[in-house]
């Protein structure tokens, strides 16, 4: 069975081995860039998919996947233990969620004598020139999530819109990368880059503790989640239309909602499980959800996604 997913997918081999042993199957991982790139590749291969199950489409790119009809419907019986707010379509199954926001490098800001910005608009100020790296919303799911958060924050009408904000970021030497991994592990100063601010996740500081080579009492990075400035991202699994192993794909989707998988996933992926009652790693004390995430719903994103990306591209890249 082929699992088409993004470059950040990680799960303990022993967990996957349990499913393989129980079903006498081998799982082939096909990792195709960031979440947006995975959806784009699945659309291009519609009807003759390169995978059987796709994991990693989120609630920003889900609208495109549904429009292109790349999934077959399947409603797992395990959904009875998943909150309804995560269940957006019978074509996909929610697996995890998290919050896209800004992370900062504590040491870099201390060295520069800077306090973390208290609002998104602060990022257009001179003291933050050249310090932020974000992702392209056309190819990156956190990039699109952050774009949606800026729409929620600044709106599309009035004297100062989300496009004015992005124009201000561009004028302030914003860096843009195609995917999260490049932005975080290459450009973020916590990993030797030049940018002490990065669009990432509220769970990223917890991840720094979980994967630290030597034990840490607190993470070297922190969260910035101003009102409306963080986005609740839900990741889904879907069975790709045209798969020759649909029955097996259904079993795997069910397995992804099992307690075993849901409690292993947070340690490996630094995400929140959707299964009610699933235990969390201790390091998630550093992953508090934002007090006021962006108030923008799935339908609004689906209806406006392509236009927002086009407008963003005109302002930021051209």
- pLDDT by residue, tens only, the chain of 318 residues: 999 999 889 999 999 999 999 999 999 999 987 788 899 999 999 989 999 999 999 999 999 999 999 999 999 999 999 999 999 999 999 999 999 999 999 999 999 999 999 999 999 999 999 999 999 999 898 999 999 999 999 999 999 999 999 999 999 999 999 999 999 999 999 999 999 999 999 999 999 999 999 999 999 999 999 999 999 999 999 999 999 999 999 999 999 999 999 999 999 999 999 999 999 999 999 998 999 999 999 999 999 999 999 999 999 999
pLDDT recorded at residue 8: 87
- What pLDDT does 35 receive? 81
Output the pTM of the full model. Answer: 0.92
Rounded distance between C-alpha atoms, residue 153 and residue 295, angstroms:
9
* pLDDT at residue 7, as a whole number: 87
User: What pLDDT does residue 250 have?
Assistant: 98
Tokens, residue 276: 């009610």
Residue 58 contacts residue 233 (beta carbons within 8 Å): yes
Domains in the chain, start-ordered, CATH in brackets? 2-97+232-279 (3.40.190.10), 98-230+290-316 (3.40.190.10)
State how far the alpha carbon of 64 is from the alpha carbons of 141, 178, 301, in Å. Answer: 12, 18, 10
CA triple 231-236-242, angle to 5 deg = 145
pLDDT at 6: 92
């Amino acid at each position: 069975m082929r699992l088409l997913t993004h470059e950040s997918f990680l799960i303990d081999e022993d967990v996957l081995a349990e499913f393989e042993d129980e079903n006498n199957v081998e799982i082939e991982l096909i990792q195709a860039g960031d979440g947006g790139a995975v959806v784009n590749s699945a659309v291009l291969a519609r009807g003759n998919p390169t995978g059987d199950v796709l994991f990693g489409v989120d609630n920003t790119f889900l609208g495109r996947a549904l429009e292109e009809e790349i999934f077959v419907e399947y409603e797992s019986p395990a959904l009875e233990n998943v909150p309804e707010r995560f269940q957006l379509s019978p074509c996909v199954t929610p697996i995890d969620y998290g919050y896209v926001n800004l992370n900062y490098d504590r040491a870099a800001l201390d060295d520069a004598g800077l306090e973390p910005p208290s609002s998104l608009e602060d990022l257009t100020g001179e003291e933050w020139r050249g310090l932020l790296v974000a992702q392209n919303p056309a190819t990156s799911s956190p990039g699109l999530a952050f774009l949606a958060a800026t729409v929620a924050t600044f709106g599309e009408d009035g004297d100062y819109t989300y496009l004015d904000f992005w124009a201000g970021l561009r004028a302030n030497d914003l860096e843009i990368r195609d995917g999260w991994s490049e932005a975080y592990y290459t450009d973020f100063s916590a990993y030797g880059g030049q940018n002490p601010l990065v669009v990432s996740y509220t769970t990223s500081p917890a991840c720094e503790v979980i994967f630290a080579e030597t034990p840490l009492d607190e993470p070297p990075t922190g969260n910035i989640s101003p009102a409306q400035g963080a986005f609740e991202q839900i990741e889904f699994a879907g069975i790709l239309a045209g798969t020759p192993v649909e029955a097996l794909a259904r079993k795997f989707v069910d397995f992804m909602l099992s307690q075993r998988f849901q409690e292993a996933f947070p340690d490996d992926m630094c995400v929140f499980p959707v299964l009610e009652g699933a235990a969390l790693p201790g390091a998630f004390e550093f992953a508090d959800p934002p007090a006021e995430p962006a108030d923008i719903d799935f339908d609004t994103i689906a209806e406006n996604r392509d236009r927002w990306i086009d407008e963003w591209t005109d302002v930021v890249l051209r």
